[in-house]
Amino acid sequence: MSKLKIAVQKSGRLNEDSMKLLKDIGISIDNGKDQLKASARDFPVEVFYLRNGDIPQYLRDGVVDAAIIGENVLIEKGHDIKFVERLGFSKCRVSIAVPKSSNYNTIDDLEGKQIATSYPNTVKKYLLQNNVDAGLHIINGSVEIAPNIGLADAIVDIVSSGSTLFKNNLIEKEVILTSEAVLAVSPLISEKNKDILNTIQFRIQSVLKGRKSKYILLNAPNDKLEDIIKILPGMKSPTVLPLAEEGWSSVHTVINKNQFWEIIDELKANGAQGILVCPIEKMVI
């Protein structure tokens, strides 16, 4: 039986989030410590645990059929590799940072300066777009230390919370690109494995929709029902059921979690009571 080979980062936060997503879509992996390959118990999938920077080449060569990888790595090392789904986790940005004491005002201030980075292709493209000529020091690892030891005037690196920059007395100045985990696909994937990948993508979409949504139940007086329904941006239309108490109805629907508090406040102002909000594990539309 054909098996889809999917790569994930060997360790770190992206690995943890990737494995959680696979578990949430019903793919259980039996993997031991330091194991580089593991098969799913209940689905035709093999998981390869690889260094993040190596994954684009494995995709390009068809060693793996798909991968959960940071979009920033694809942009740097796999611009020819397509992805089919944004996954909503491991969000970060690739940014220019300089010492706090620097007199940086615009990108033009890096003209003739030295930049330390692990993303040379990304930086070269950005500098070219902005007509800036600067030298690059390519570093794999602790890029943030470069200005402190006199190796560079600025750095370009991944930024999440900014705490690492703060600890190294650096300040973020320009965001070159934003990134999140994506589901990337090998150009050499077989038709059989495309079918398996389509199933995985459908399951992922159901999980992601669930994560973005909340199930809401509330009690509404019938004379306010029309106004309350207008507030609710449900998938199609809310479910309305009569309550045992005359003159009242129960309303059920799904809302976007980002609109949650705004909608709740408006519902209360329009007479809704007993509002119950529940998380959604998966949502199939």
Does 4-90+180-210 match 213-279 in CATH topology?
A: no
Min mean pLDDT across 103-117, 208-222, 226-240 is at: 226-240
> What is the per-residue pLDDT across 192-227, written as a single tens digit (0 to 9) for each?
999 999 999 999 999 999 888 888 899 999 999 888
What would the two tokens of residue 99 be? 């010492």
Residue 224 buriedness (CB in 10 A; 0-12 / 13-18 / 19+): middle
What does the pLDDT look like over 11-42, one tens digit per residue?
888 999 999 999 999 998 876 556 788 888 88
pLDDT at 234 over 60: no
Share of the chain above pLDDT 70, in %: 97
Computed over every residue of the chain, the mean pLDDT equals: 90
CATH number for the segment(s) 92-179: 3.40.190.10
HEC profile of 120-156:
HHHHHHHHHHCCCCCEEEECCCCHHHCHHHCCCCEEE
* Local confidence band at 259 (pLDDT 50, 70, 90 cut-offs): confident
Superfamily assignment of 4-90+180-210 in CATH? Periplasmic binding protein-like II (3.40.190.10)
CATH number of 213-279: 3.30.70.120
Query: Cα–Cα distance between 129 and 123 in angstroms, integer?
Result: 10
| Residues paired with residue 6 on neighbouring β-strands, in sequence order | 47, 66
Q: Where are the domains of the chain?
A: 4-90+180-210, 92-179, 213-279
Q: Which residue has the tokens 């045992």?
A: 244
Percentage of the chain beyond pLDDT 90 is 60
> pLDDT tens across 66-83, in order?
999 999 999 999 889 999
- The yes-or-no verdict on residue 188 having pLDDT over 80 is yes
Question: In this structure, what token pair is assigned to residue 88?
Answer: 């909503």
What confidence category does residue 231 fall into, taking pLDDT thresholds of 50, 70 and 90? Answer: confident
pTM of the model: 0.84
